[in-house]
Amino acid sequence: MNVVIGTVMIWAAALWTLRHLRRISPERLPHVRAEAQHLFLIMLPRTIIGLTGAGFMAELLPQDDVRALFGPGSGLAGVMLASGLGALVPGGPVVAFAVGAAALKAGAGVGALLAFITGWSICSMTRTLTHEAAIMGWSFLGRRLLVSWPAPLVIGAVSLGVAGLLGLD
C-alpha cells in the first residue's frame, strides 16, 4: 500500500509541475519532454536489470541467516551490522536497492533495511574515498563522517522503536 501512495504522490507532483510549467513557460515543454524521454530510456534498462537481479538474489540468499542477522528479532545488533554493510556496498542505487529488496524478501526487518539504505546513502565508502576525499579533502571528509555516521544507527533504532509501539514487524 505504501508503494501505491508513494507512486500516486510522485505522479501528482509531476503532473502539477507540468501544469505549472505549461502556464509559466510553455516554450520549454519540448525540451522538458526530450529530457524526460532521455532519462526514461537510460533508467528503464537499469531498473529492469536491478529488479531482476534482486529477484534472483532473494532466491539465493539463505533466509534463515538473513532472518537471524537482520530480521525483526535481531534488534540493535542487526541495525548496527546493516549500517556497516550499507556503507561498504559498492555501486549506485540499482545495486543498493536491489540488495535491500532481496534482503527484505529473504526476511530482513524494516529497521535493518532502513539502516542499510541510510548507511549506503550517507556513508558509502565507494563515493567517500573516490570522490569526496579527492575533491573536498580528508579534513572535510573526517568531519562529515563524524557527524553523519550515527544517522543510520539512529534511523534504524527509531524504526525499531516505532515498530514496537505500533506492534509492527
pLDDT digits (tens, 9 = 90+) for 83-132: 999 999 888 888 888 889 889 888 999 999 999 999 999 999 988 988 89
State the Cα–Cα distance between residues 110 and 158, nearest whole angstrom: 11
Please state whether the predicted TM-score (pTM) of the whole model is above 0.75. Answer: no
Total structural domains in the chain? 2
Show the domain range for 148: 62-168
Q: Are residues 100 and 28 in the same domain?
A: no
Angle at 101 between CA 127 and CA 155, to 5 degrees: 65
Each residue's pLDDT tens digit, 4-40: 787 899 999 999 999 999 999 999 999 999 999 999 9
Q: Are residues 86 and 117 in the same domain?
A: yes
